[in-house]
Structure 1
């Protein structure tokens, strides 16, 4: 398969996935902030950093207390810009790697079997997630710090300390993390948890493929409809989140940056995600591994459903724009001569020939479709 024919779909899915993620992140961010605090408040309570009255009893109670004690609606958007950046980059890289890896695995498969085996599907999702998280973990650390900062600082919303805290920039938080963790590699605190949590998107897309195979007629796979797309994505995300949630608890604690007032916790954090989860289960019980899961499932349902629905819409727009632009470009004689010239060039590996053929074929096809769309 020509390299260009693999790269172009990957970029299209990555761009549309990033756009969908940004929209869903903006819509569900307050719920995400509340969920993060619910994941870490038990540890803060055990360390006597929070009183019983300051703890949130539910998602609704958290919304009420944050609104009343932290300055109203703006308090629900602490760290939003960093999270939008992280989410867009995370989604772009994940869809880019996922589409690329999956396309390579599907090469040579029978047209009637347009899906991978279970192990392959999980492996592709995990590999794509690991590659994406390698780039976005430092930003994820900043987001967690910003979301939990007000929970640790109980000063009034109008106090100078709280104002300085809410105005702290992205790079300032990065420098704080680096200084606290003792070096640049400290910015990747929680990456071990991210590696385990690559199972989440992997499971999500695996469950989505299973549900699609069971519930959607094969003739409608490419366009099952907006309602079915949303429902399949939302249901698959809920199932994956329920399985991996204990590791989300561990990751939030690893990235919070809180030092126990009792002198405990740092040894546990150095042990990594598995030691953290095992310690929580041993010392706090199994229930502690599912603190706030209701809110996380609710967020996952709407967030991923909106992401995939928006992704499909944006991807359709990108394809149309691509064909329209190609329709203009293919009419330029000079461009045709350049592409044909590249096809004739040969290097030792024949790379120019492969790329030239792929691009020219796409442009010719795009030119025909684009021209018909403009009529």
Structure 2
């Protein structure tokens, strides 16, 4: 099994576990980002209070609306990202070693190269998985008062399923509707790029510190958890406004005749948000996102590293058994 495949599978597994743990926070955060009701802004509720409101008004199930496609999207995104990340990383390492032989560099992958590797992996991931996240956003922001729900007195509207979200997106903009928000999402590739750059820099320094102290102690799961959390925190603070714009574009655009809530594209969304909401609008729900992202990233890194180490250990163990069985 190739190292790229091991990292891809481990990344998918870690992403799924992190998603299951933090999904209710993600749902509330998406609603915060797409909220354009001025009355709600005056009576702003905290994250926990908003979660309780969703449960009371719409039921527990709404906190997990879109979970199934989100898990598929997470598995695909993490698998695709880590697979291509390892491929691009291996090429960068090979190039660095070649440069060292030629008398340039120390043979290690520099910060700029790490950033480029993460960026290229992120672009491939975005282009392949954006349709899934458009559907997830529609399901997370759909409420029982949505215009798509049939108005029948005394009858509970049917659940808003994945097929309903797909039909809604296609009905609005055709096949291109599934790539709504792709431009800010591509720009947001800088988020995982910054995250992995910070993570690998911190990890490298920790290992160097251990080596200087002549310690044989490896990096623990808790340390990986903390490094992942710190790296994600830095990346989220820098790129959050782009995430809000992306969510606005992917959410349902039909808001009656109020044109200020209808976006024709990324630039139009940015200009209207500045005009009608101010800079504050770009940071809606940021505290919720920080908690969700940091927790999810920390769990992902921890689980991924443990899965990679476990798979490699099993492969080495199997290889040792094969060698032993062949020996006279």
Fold-level match, TM-score > 0.5?
Answer: yes
Deviations 1:40-71 (A, max 9, x none): 11x2x15xxxx549965221221121111112
- TM-score, normalized by length of structure 1? 0.76
Partner of 1:290: 283
Moved more, 100-109 or 146-155: 146-155
Contact preservation (8 Å) 2:96, 2:109: no
Partner of 1:91: 78
C-alpha distance in 1, partners of 2:11/2:313?
16
Give the ranges of 4+ consecutive aligned residues of structure 1 lying more than 3 Å apart after TM superposition: 51-56, 110-115, 158-162, 213-216, 218-223, 323-328
C-alpha distance in 2, partners of 1:33/1:221?
43
- TM-score, normalized by length of structure 2? 0.86
Partner of 1:361: none
Q: How does 1:355-374 map to 2 (within 5 A)?
A: 367=323
Partner of 1:117: 110
Partner of 1:341: none
Structure 1 counterpart SS, 2:259: coil
Question: Which residue of 262, 271, 282 corresponds with 2:265?
Answer: 271
1:243–1:321 Cα change, 3 Å: same
Partner of 2:184: 193
Q: Which runs of 5+ in 1 are unaligned?
A: 1-6, 332-366
Partner of 1:165: 159
C-alpha distance in 2, partners of 1:312/1:209?
13
Q: How does 1:200-219 map to 2 (within 5 A)?
A: 200-216=191-207, 217=209, 219=211
Moved more, 217-226 or 13-22: 217-226
Question: Which residue of 46, 49, 56 corresponds with 1:58?
Answer: 46
Shift, 1:117, TM fit: 2.5
Partner of 2:63: 76
Deviations 1:207-259 (A, max 9, x none): 11222234442648994111110000000001100000000100110000232
Partner of 1:240: 235
Structure 1 counterpart SS, 2:254: coil
Structure 2 counterpart SS, 1:107: helix
Partner of 1:345: none
Q: RMSD of the alignment, in Å?
A: 3.0
1:371–1:189 Cα change, 3 Å: farther
C-alpha distance in 2, partners of 1:221/1:231?
20
2:234 aligned with 1:254, yes or no?
no
Shift, 1:131, TM fit: 0.3
- Highest Rg: 1 or 2? 1
Partner of 1:346: none
1:210–1:195 Cα change, 3 Å: same
Structure 2 counterpart SS, 1:258: coil
Shift, 1:277, TM fit: 2.6
